[in-house]
Amino acid sequence: MGIDSSGHLQHHLNKLDGLIQTDEYGKYRLSEQGREALLIVQTVEKAASSASEHVKSRRGLRSTQILKVISILLDVALVATSVIAAFEYVQLQSQFGNPSKMSVVWKRELYVNIAYFTVEDGKVFTVTLEGDVYCFDQQDGQTLWSQSLGGYATSNQIIVENGRVFVGSRGSVLNCLSEDDGKILWQFAPNLSSSIASKSAPVFSLFAGRVFTTGDGFYVLKASDGKLLWGYPYGSVPNYVRIGGWAVSGNRVFAGGWDNGDKLFCFNMDDGSIL
């Protein structure tokens, strides 16, 4: 850009706040708002250029008339963008309401940090960092039930499905609770060897009546009763990777992660055999 001073460059970048952003490589790119702004500028420039050429082709028009046409085009563009902005503002207000006029319908003081919450079936399900799970009525905030999972929990997941609430707790334990009364239906606690897994909650997902979860390994459970269908504890397979993510398609489970081998695995979902 021909700017020698980094301070001068930073000054210009600051002026473009909201119009540009940095990608994962630290390169500057137009933001969505920036692209819209550029499109408006290009549209106005194109229209002004077309008008200018049209005016020049007509003899007898003076330069002041050309400037007047361009000025009118710019005014039209300004009005158009103002109308769009006003319309979007009205839309946001109709969707979320005026913040200054919003009121609190209900609130509950839990006296401890909330790790995660979700809203399903007219209920609010919340887990705290102390491992307590609460179920509140969505409308009035009344406590429908609560359940202690014991100890510090860092779970940032709650999945509600088929009348069951799935949530993790310290020790990579996966808990399945009844949606109706919070009763613990089953728990899966893998054998742990690493201190990280013993202090953390598992990462898990549900698919086709199965629960896929981590700990010191990768495990597939039956969602209804927590029965272990198959699993691979770390170190049980030569050069086995630590599963950092997975995807399921049909009867196949694709999984990969890090450590020892850098492999991508494809498992048979029924028996866990490596395909």
Q: What is the pLDDT of residues 7-36, one digit of tens each?
A: 777 778 778 877 888 877 778 888 888 888
- Does one domain contain both 126 and 214? yes
Domain final residue pick, 101, 123, 148: 101
- Residue 6 within any structural domain of the chain: no
pLDDT of residue 238: 47
- Does one domain contain both 86 and 118? no
- Cβ atoms of 95 and 136 within 8 Å: the answer is no
- Does one domain contain both 133 and 254? yes
From the CB of residue 236, how many other CB atoms can be counted at a distance below 10 Å? 10
d(CA 18, CA 174): 42
Domain final residue pick, 68, 101, 134: 101
- Residue 120 within any structural domain of the chain: yes
pLDDT of residue 78: 80
- Does one domain contain both 36 and 169? no
- Give pLDDT < 50 ranges for the chain: 238-239
Quote the number of domains for the chain: 2
Burial class (CB in 10 A: 0-12, 13-18, 19+), 219: buried
pLDDT of residue 23: 79
- Residue 163 within any structural domain of the chain: yes
Distances (CA, A) of 148 to 133, 165, 171, 251: 6, 14, 15, 35
d(CA 219, CA 92): 44
- Does one domain contain both 69 and 139? no
Q: How far is CA 7 from the centre of its chain?
A: 35
The pTM of this model reads 0.61
